[in-house]
Each structure stands twice: as C-alpha cells, then as structure tokens.
Amino acid sequence: MTEPRTVSFTQMKDGTKADYELLETLEKPYLALTPDRVLDELRRQGDVTLEGYRITRLTHGLQSATRAQRDGADIDWIVGTLLHDVGDGLAPQNHDRFSAEVIRPFVRWDVAWVVEHHGIFQSYYYGHHYGWDRNARDRFKDHPCFESCATFCERWDQSSFDPEYDSLPLAHFEPLVRQVFARKAYDPDVMREGFVSALAGPN
C-alpha cells in the first residue's frame, strides 16, 4: 500500500523546496474543486430562510442573478450577483467583504468592488429605520464604481425578495460559475483594473 505523501516539517520555516513543490502539486486538485464548494454553499443556502423574510438565501441569490441576466449583464456580473451574499453563513456582519474575496481572483475588479461594498449601499433603503445614516454610501461618491454599486443595489439586490418571481434555477447558473472559477486566478486580462463595465448590455 502506498504511503500518503506528506511534508517533512512541523514548522513551515523548516520546509524544503521539495516539500513546497509537493504541496503545490497536491493543492491543484483542491483548487480545481473550488466551484464545487461554492455551489455546495449555495445549495445549503436553499435550506436557510432569511429570518423574517419570505424567501431563502438561495432564492435571493437566484432572483438577483436572474434579474441581472434578463437585463443583459455579462457573465462576471451574473456570477458576481449570484454570489454577492455567499458569505452570509460564516460572516453575517461583513458578508459583503467575505463574498467579494470569494470571487475577487476570478472576475473584473469593478464587479468585486461592487460586491465588497454593496452592504453599505444597500442600507440606503432601510438604514433610516434603524437611526443610521442612509447616505453613508456617499463616502464613495467620487469612486468610479459608485454608480455601478448604486445601480446593482437598485435593480438586482433590493428588488429580489419576491417569492412570486420566476427565478431561473441554480442548474442554469452552474455552468457560468464553473466557467468563471476555471479562469486563471488574478489574471490581469480578466481583472482589468481601472475599467468600469456596464451592468447591462454588451461591454
């Protein structure tokens, strides 16, 4: 029986070049399964009703992504919209930033920025009911992605809590998720730092 391949060290500082080459080799299959783990998390969200709301977390993501697709958004916006709340389970207080880090290596920078900041932009619709500053998003008014984030929240996020909406199923979006996560991580040609894309229609 073949012994499992393991590193020689118990402290990372003692690792050899051979150890780290082994880890790099062994990590590749794990990285390739990232979209499976992301999709599994979305499926788990189908079992979690948003407390006090009339839909599940998965339904909210599907409805948001369906609206994006029907608006003519491209694959980065659709997948970013589908996954904009994927961090809710583990990081409910900063789910926006958590979700952004999940997608950041694989999508345009503006999509990741919008997902990262959508929480504060979304509070425009309800913050005043808690005594918060509903215009807190204005601190970003000079950022090139301000209008993108405001539009994202208006058209695809805040409007997607409708139990009667005919959302497309997760199976419809699965190939798009796999396509995005199959990209080379942090590819400059994908990230297009500084480019602000249109949310709808051809970019």
CA distance 104 to 115: 9
CATH number of the domain that residue 133 is part of: 1.10.3210.10
* Structure-model confidence comparison of residues 59 and 201, the more confident one: 59
CA distance 48 to 20: 40
Has this prediction a pTM greater than 0.85? yes
pLDDT tens string 39-95: 999 999 998 777 789 999 999 999 999 999 999 999 999 999 999 999 998 999 999
Residue 18 lies in a domain: no
Arithmetic mean of pLDDT, 144-155? 98
Residue 13 lies in a domain: no
Which spans in 9-108 are helix H? 17-32, 34-45, 57-70, 75-82, 95-103
Residue 181 lies in a domain: yes
pLDDT tens string 105-132: 999 999 999 999 999 999 999 999 999 9
Residue 168 lies in a domain: yes
| Of 63, 48, 84, 62, the residue nearest 160 (C-alpha) | 63
